[in-house]
Amino acid sequence: MSNKRLGVVVDGAFNSGLTVRLDPGVTTEQLRIGSFVVVEGQRNRYFSLISDIHLKATDPRLLSDPPRATSPFIARTLSGTSTYATVEVRPMLMLEKPDESDPRALLEMRRGPQPVKTIPMHFAELREATELDFATVFGKEGGVYFAMGTPLTMDIPICLNLAHFVERSDGIFGQSGTGKSFLARLVICGVIKSKVAVNLIFDMHDEYAFDKQTEDGRWVKGLRQIFGPQVLIYSLDEELARRSGRNADVTLKIGLNQIEEADVILLSEELNLRQTAEATIGLLRDHFRGQWLLKLLQMTQEELEEWCKNSGAHAGAASSLQRNLKRLQRQEYIVEEAPFAALDDMIESLDRGKHVILQFGRHNSVLDYLLVSNLVTRRVRQRYEEKTRRYEESKDPKDKPRPLMITIEEAHKFLNPAVARQTTFGIIAREMRKYNVTLLVIDQRPSSIDPEVMSQLGTRITGKLTEERDIDAVLTGVSNRNALRGALESLDTRQEVLIMGHAVPMPISLRTRQYDEAFYQAMGAPEAFQGPEIGIRDLFGED
Amino acid sequence: MPLKLGAVSEQIEHMAQAMVALSPAQEQLLEQAQALLRSTPADALRLKLEQQRQRQVRFPWLVATPHGSLCGIIPAPPAPVDFCVIGIDASSVPPDRHRSVRFYVLNVGYAALTYGRCADAVLDAESQLFFHDEDLYLFPEKRDVPIEGTLLNARMEVESLQTLQKVIQHRAHQPSGERPPTVALRDGPLILWTLQNEPQEVQDKLLHGFLQAMSSLRQSGVPLAGYISYTDSRDVANSLRVWICQELPNECEHCKNSKRDLCLALAKIRDRDLFNFLAIGERSELFASSSQILERYGEHRVDFFYLNIGGEIVRVEVPRWVSADAEWLSLLHAVIYDQSRRSPGFPPYPPALLEAHEQAVITTTERRLIEEMVERALGLHGQWVTRSAKNDSKRRRGI
Amino acid sequence: MRIGEIVETTSTGFVAESFTLNRPPPLGSLVAVSLPAQDMEIYAVVAYGQTVGLDPGRRAVRRSTEIVFDEAIYHEHPELKHILRTEFGAVLVGYLAEGQVWQHLPPQPPPLHFSVQTVQTGELQRFTDHLLYFRLLLSYNGPVSPLQVLAANVREVYRQRGSDRAWLDAAAREIATLLKNDHEALLTVLYAIDPGEASAIAERRGQL
C-alpha cells in the first residue's frame, strides 16, 4: 500500500474546503470524485473526500494557443509545470497527531477522529489513504462493525457501525436497477448476525425469504436459507404459503375489526374515496365505535339511508363509501373478525429474538401493501409503547424491549408529504426512536418523501441517482452537501454506493460487497446452495 | 560651426560641372601628350637636358632625366615564394608653443610581414619623447633653430629610417634557417625636398642621420623604396616641355613656338595621367630627379619610376644603389605589386604600409593622455605647467 | 586548460580574450576562474563570443578572392593574426568555496588579467547537479538573448554529462517553473533543448 504523495494544499477555506495542487507526475485520471484521501497538517491529520477536479495553466496564453505537434519531451515537461491540475478536497474528520517530541503523549491513548474544527496551513501534503487510515476511521470488522464493501480504489473492508445504524431510522436509495434490495439484504444480514436488533420486513415482492434469480441469471439465497429457523415467514397468501421448501410458518388474516379510520384514509387514492369519506367515517365511528367498518359493510341500502338520516351523514357519500370499501372485504385475507393474538404472537416472537418476514404473495397490489403494512405496524407500535412503559416502571432488564427495525419498500407511498403525518410509519420515523423502533426505508424516489422524515433518517445508503430533485432530497440535512453531490453523481450504476450518516464516521463511496457463497459462509449459512432444481420444483408445486 | 554649408555646396556644384566640361578637351590633350612621349627620342632629350644643365639654366620646374626610354614598359616579375616586406611610418606630437614646458613625441610604426612557407607578421612601434635641448634645437648651445614644422618632419624621416635600421639588425641576429629576401618601404618620398630652402648647415645636420641609415640598409642588403600614392609630380611632363621648347624654358612670355598650346597643356598634365598606359603591375623605366637636395645625397641619389598597382599610378623612389642593381630593382617591383594584390581596400595600398601607419598613429586620446602624464609628473616634482591665454581659450571655448 | 585572459570584469560577468583566434569557448559552456589565494573557484557560463579588430576604429574588409579564401586568407595576410582578437563574455553563475558549491553571485568579481579555464567533467557534474544557477542565467542581459544562452548551456551540459536524460528532464521542468508566466519564452527554450526523435527512440528501447 503506497503512501504516495499527491500534491500540496495551496488554498482553502473552512467552509468551502481545500484546494490542492497536484504534483507533476500525478495525473487527474488516477483520482476519483468521492475518493478517500488524507491531508497531513502539522498538528492534525484530515480525512477527506475529493469533491472536484480542475485543470489550470500558469500562463493563459498557453491555452489560447496550445503548442502544435509537440514532441513527447515538451509535452512531458509542460505537464505538471505550465499545465497542472488542482483538486478540491473536503476534510470530513480530523485526528490530532501526537507531539512526537513528547514521550508521554505517545503513550497516552489517542482520541479517535473528531469533527473538523480547523484547516491545515499552505503546503500541507495530500496523500492517498492507507489501510491504517481506513481502519482508524472506520474501525475493523467484527462485533457491531459490519463490512459493507470496499473503497473505490482499494481492497480493504469498510464497516458500518450497526449499533448506530439501528439507533435511528435509515434509508436505502438509488434509481431502479441499482440493487437496492441487495443492499437491504446485506444490511439486514448484518443486523441479524450481529444481533443488534430484530427485523420485521414487509416483503412486497417476495424477495427476501427464499432464493431468487437475479438479472444476470444467478440464483441468490434468501434470509431463511441463510439463517434458518431464526427467520419466521408470515404470509398473507394461503396458497403460496403451502409450497414445499418455501412454505410460510404462519398465514396471516386481517379482520375488519382491526382496520381503523387511519388505515382507510391512507387508502383514499387506492379506493377512490371521495373527500367526504373522512367525515362520513367519523360519523360512523361515533355511532358504531370499533365495529364501524363491519357495520357499514353489512348495512343494506335502506339501512344505510336510515342511518344517514339519523346521523346526519350524506347519503350519497355514505353509499359511495360503502361501495368503495367493499373492495376491502373481497380480499382473500380479509375476514370479518380476526384476533389480535396473531399479531401479538408475532411481536412476542420478535421479542424473543426472531426475525419476521411478512410475504404478500399474490396479494401484492399497492392496496394490500399499504393496508397490511400500516395496520400491522400500528399494532407493533402500540405493543412497543406498552413494553417500554412497563420497562420504565420495573427497570428490570428482562423487560427491556429488543430494538426493532422495520423494513418497508416503496416508502414514498407511506411517507410522502401528504400522508406522512398520518401513517404509522411517519410516526415511527419521527418519534419511535425512543421506543427502540426504527425504519429501514427503501425507495427510488427520495424526492417524494416528506423532507421532515428524510431529515430524521440517521444513515443513508444511496446508489446512483440522476434526478436533481432526488439528489437534493437525499442530501437534505447533510453537511458538506456540495462535496457529496459530485461523489453521488460519479457513482457507477451498479455496485457503487455512497454511505453517509450516523453509522459511518464520515461519508464514503464504496464498492458493495458481493452477495455470494463467501458471504453466506461469512454469515454462517448451513450448507452449500444446491442449484436451480429446487426452484423449478417449487414452481410446479409439490407433485 | 559657423561654416556656411549652403554657400559652399553651391560652389561644389559649379566645380563638378566645370570638371565634367573639361574632360573631353583634356582627354584629347592627354592623347597628344602621350603621343609626344612615345615619339620623343630619349637620347636626344638626355642630351638636351645635359646641355642646359651645363649652361646652368635654371629650370623653373623639376624635370626628369630618363635612364632608358621614355615610354618603356616593364611587366611585374613574379615574387619569390618566401620574402619579407617591412613598412615604416611615423607620426608626432609636435612641441606646443603655448605650453611652458617644451617637448615633442615621435612614434615610428613598423610592420614586418613575412610571406611564404613561414608566414608571419611583427607589428610594433617605437615611441620616444624628446625634451633635451639637443633634440629640441638644431643648435642646442644657442637654443637656435627649434625643431618644429618642416624640420620636425625631416627629423621624423630620419628617426624612421633609424628605427628601420634597428629592426633589420635585430632580425639579422635571429636564428633562422634562411633569411628570406627583404625589402623596406616607407610611405612618402625619399627626396627630402622640404629641406631645399634651409641653410646648408641645417640640411647637413638633418641629412646626416638619414644618409647614414640608408648606408646601413645597403650594407644589410635590404633595398629601400619610397612609395608615393596618388602622386602629383609632373617631372616627366616637364621634360617633354623642355623637349618641345625652342628657346629657353624660362622665357615663356616671349614664346612664339607653334607648339605653345601643347606646352601650356603639358603644364597641366600630371605624370600619373601621362603614364596611364601602364597596365596593372607594369612599371615605367627609371628616371633621375632634378631635385636640388639630391646634390647632397651622394651615392644615395634618388631615382624614380611609375608603377600601376591597379586603380592608380604610384611613384616609387629608390636610391641609386637600388636602381643600379637589377636584382634588387626587380625584387622591389615584384614585392610592391604583390603587396597591392594583398591589399584589402581599393585602390590597393600595401598592407605593410597600412599596418605601419596603424602602429604609428597617435590618437587624440593618447595625445591628451601624454599631456596629462606630463602635467602630473611635473606637478609631483613641484613644477606646474602653465598655458598661454590663447591655448586656454581654445580649450575652454566659453560662451 | 587555460583558454583565455580576463580583460573586463564586473560583479555579474566578465569579458576575456581567447588565446585562439576565431575559436572562443562554445556558447553555453561552463568555464572557471581559479583563485587559489582565496581558495575559491568561480564558475561562469559563456554568453557570447566575437572576433573584432584590436583597434575599434578598424572594420574587417572582404579579403577573399577566387583562389584565396577561408583558412588560406590567414596565411596570405599574416598581419591579420596580430590585428584581430577573439573575445568572449561569460555570466557568473556560482563558485566553489570551502569545499561547497554555491549558486549565487560571488562576493567579488574575478580579478582582471586572470586566466579563464575549461571545467573538467567531474567538476561540471558536481556543479550542475543543482539547477539554481538557471536564475542567474535568465537575469543576464547581454548581446545574446538569455533564453538562447540558457538553451545552449543545457545542451552543452547534457552532452558533457554523457546524454544524461534524467538531468535533462529535471532541467526542463525547472525551466518550465521559472518561465511559467511567459509561455512563448518557455517554448523557445524547450524547442532549443529538445533532444529529438533519435533520443526518444533510444529511450524507449532502453525502457524495453
Q: What is the ipTM of this complex?
A: 0.78
Per-residue pLDDT, A538: 42
Per-residue pLDDT, B185: 95
When pLDDT is averaged across residues C111-125 and rounded to a whole number, the result is: 95
Per-residue pLDDT, A530: 45
Contacts of A77 in chain C (CB under 8 A): 169, 172-173, 175-176, 190
Rounded Cα gap, residues A506 and A503, in angstroms: 9
Nearest CA in chain C to A73: C194
CA A19 distance to own-chain centroid: 33
Report yes or no: B351 and C78 within 8 Å, Cβ to Cβ: no
Summarised one tens digit per residue, pLDDT across range A209-235 is 888 777 777 888 888 888 888 899 888
When pLDDT is averaged across residues A85-93 and rounded to a whole number, the result is: 92
The grid coordinates of residue A134 equal 481506513
Rounded Cα gap, residues A66 and B382, in angstroms: 77
Instruction: List the single residue in C75, C79, C81 with the smallest CB-CB distance to B111.
Output: C79
Rounded Cα gap, residues B261 and B107, in angstroms: 48
Query: What is the arrangement of strands in the sheet containing A250-251, beginning at the earlier edge strand?
Result: A158-161, A145-151, A508-512, A496-501, A459-462, A170-173, A437-443, A404-408, A198-203, A355-359, A231-235, A250-251
Residue with cell 556644384: B13
Residues ≥6 apart with Cβ < 8 Å to A493: A177, A178, A463, A464
Q: Is B77 helix (H, G, I), strand (E, B) or coil?
A: coil
Which CATH number describes the domain made up of B83-236+267-362? 3.30.2170
Per-residue pLDDT, B175: 62
Please name which of B35, B141, B158, B27 lies closest in space to residue B92, comparing C-alpha atoms: B158
Any idea how long chain B is? 399
* Confidence grade of residue A543 (pLDDT, cut at 50, 70, 90): very low
DSSP A110: P
The b-or-e profile of B62-99 (16+ CB within 10 A means b, else e) is: bbbbbbebbbeebebeebeebbbbbbbbbbbbebbeeb
Rounded Cα gap, residues C206 and A114, in angstroms: 50
Per-residue pLDDT, A298: 82
The grid coordinates of residue A358 equal 411478512
Summarised one tens digit per residue, pLDDT across range C48-103 is 999 998 887 788 888 888 888 999 999 989 988 888 999 999 999 999 999 899 99
Nearest CA in chain B to C77: B342
Report yes or no: B53 and B63 within 8 Å, Cβ to Cβ: no
DSSP A79: B
Rounded Cα gap, residues A47 and A147, in angstroms: 19
Interface check A77 vs C, CB under 8 A: yes
Q: Does A81 sit within 8 Å of C190, measured CB to CB?
A: no
Residue A101 neighbours by CB distance under 10 Å: 7
CB-count burial class (<10 Å; 0-12, 13-18, 19+) for B201? exposed
> Could you tell me the CA-to-CA distances from B46 to B61, B64, B66, B305 in Å, in that order?
16, 9, 7, 16
Q: Does A59 sit within 8 Å of C181, measured CB to CB?
A: yes
| Residues paired with B65 in a beta bridge | B288
* Confidence grade of residue A537 (pLDDT, cut at 50, 70, 90): very low
Nearest CA in chain C to A72: C200
Per-residue pLDDT, B20: 67
When pLDDT is averaged across residues A257-265 and rounded to a whole number, the result is: 82
Report yes or no: A250 and A342 within 8 Å, Cβ to Cβ: yes
Q: Is B65 helix (H, G, I), strand (E, B) or coil?
A: strand
Summarised one tens digit per residue, pLDDT across range C135-157 is 999 999 889 999 999 999 999 99
Interface check C2 vs B, CB under 8 A: no
Instruction: List the single residue in C63, C75, C83 with the smallest CB-CB distance to B119.
Output: C75
Residue with cell 482499494: A154
- Chains near C, with 3+ CB pairs < 8 A? A, B
Q: Does A72 sit within 8 Å of C173, measured CB to CB?
A: no
When pLDDT is averaged across residues A10-34 and rounded to a whole number, the result is: 89
* Confidence grade of residue C202 (pLDDT, cut at 50, 70, 90): low
Interface check B345 vs C, CB under 8 A: yes
Q: Are strands A83-96 and A437-443 parallel, antiparallel or unpaired?
A: unpaired
Per-residue pLDDT, B83: 93
Choice between A311 and C25, residue whose per-residue pLDDT is larger:
C25
Residues ≥6 apart with Cβ < 8 Å to B122: B110, B111, B112, C82
How does DSSP assign A285-298, residue by residue? HHHHGGGHHHHHHH
When pLDDT is averaged across residues A109-122 and rounded to a whole number, the result is: 83
Mean pLDDT of chain A: 83
The three-state DSSP-derived secondary structure of chain C is: CEEEEEEEECCCEEEEEECCCCCCCCCCCEEEEEEHHHCEEEEEEEEEEEEEECCCCCCCCCCCCCCCCCHHHHHHCCCHHHHEEEEEEEEEEEEEECCEEECCCCCCCCCCCCEEEECCHHHHHHHHCCCCHHHHHHCCCCCCCHHHHHHHHHHHHHHHCCCCHHHHHHHHHHHHHHCCCCHHHHHHHHHHHCCCHHHHHHHHHHHC
Rounded Cα gap, residues A356 and B319, in angstroms: 143
Q: Where are the domains of chain A?
A: 5-138, 159-253+339-539, 257-330
Instruction: List the single residue in C55, C61, C82 with the smallest CB-CB distance to B121.
Output: C82
Provide the number of CB pairs (under 8 Å) joining chain A to chain C.
48
Prediction pTM value: 0.68
Contacts with C, B 91-120, CB within 8 Å: 111, 113-115, 119-120
Choice between B398 and A16, residue whose per-residue pLDDT is larger:
A16
Summarised one tens digit per residue, pLDDT across range B281-291 is 999 999 998 88
Please name which of A120, A153, A149 lies closest in space to residue A35, comparing C-alpha atoms: A153
CA angle, corner A255, sides to A253 and A258, nearest 5? 120
Q: Is the pLDDT of residue A536 over 50?
A: no
Interface check C68 vs A, CB under 8 A: no
- Chains near B, with 3+ CB pairs < 8 A? C
Nearest CA in chain B to C59: B344
Interface check A121 vs C, CB under 8 A: no
Q: Does A76 sit within 8 Å of C181, measured CB to CB?
A: no
Which residues span the domain enclosing C46?
2-207
Sign of CA dihedral C88, C93, C98, C101: negative
Choice between A14 and B142, residue whose per-residue pLDDT is larger:
A14
Q: Does B355 sit within 8 Å of C61, measured CB to CB?
A: no
Report yes or no: A266 and A308 within 8 Å, Cβ to Cβ: no
Report which residue type is found at B91: S
Residues ≥6 apart with Cβ < 8 Å to B3: none
Which CATH number describes the domain made up of A159-253+339-539? 3.40.50.300
Rounded Cα gap, residues B135 and B127, in angstroms: 14
Rounded Cα gap, residues C8 and C132, in angstroms: 25
Per-residue pLDDT, C22: 93
* Confidence grade of residue C12 (pLDDT, cut at 50, 70, 90): very high
C99: left (phi over 0), alpha (psi -120 to 50) or beta: left
Please name which of B357, B361, B350, B359 lies closest in space to residue B115, comparing C-alpha atoms: B350
* Closest approach of C78 to chain B, Cα-based (Å): 5
The b-or-e profile of B252-291 (16+ CB within 10 A means b, else e) is: beeeeeebeebbebbeebbbbbbbeebeebbbbbbbbbbb
Note the helical H segments in A4-139.
Answer: 60-64, 72-78, 103-107, 131-138
Instruction: List the single residue in C173, C191, C199 with the smallest CB-CB distance to A81.
Output: C173
CB-count burial class (<10 Å; 0-12, 13-18, 19+) for A530? exposed
Nearest CA in chain C to B82: C76
Q: Using a pLDDT cut of 90, give the percent of chain C over it.
A: 73
| Residues paired with A36 in a beta bridge | A49
Summarised one tens digit per residue, pLDDT across range A498-531 is 999 989 988 888 899 888 888 888 888 765 544 4
State yes or no: chains C and B have 3 or more CB pairs below 8 A.
Answer: yes
Q: Does A58 sit within 8 Å of C181, measured CB to CB?
A: yes
Number of domain units in chain C: 1
Stretches in chain B below the pLDDT threshold 70: 1, 19-22, 174-178, 248-254, 383-399
Contacts of B111 in chain C (CB under 8 A): 79
Kind and range of the H or E run holding B13: helix B5-39
Please name which of B36, B334, B35 lies closest in space to residue B185, comparing C-alpha atoms: B334
Per-residue pLDDT, B11: 84
Contacts of C200 in chain A (CB under 8 A): 71-73
Residues ≥6 apart with Cβ < 8 Å to A387: A351, A399, A401
Interface check A61 vs C, CB under 8 A: yes
Interface check C187 vs A, CB under 8 A: yes
Per-residue pLDDT, A86: 93
| Residues paired with B124 in a beta bridge | B110
Interface check A63 vs C, CB under 8 A: no
State yes or no: chains A and B have 3 or more CB pairs below 8 A.
Answer: no
Q: Where are the domains of chain B?
A: 83-236+267-362
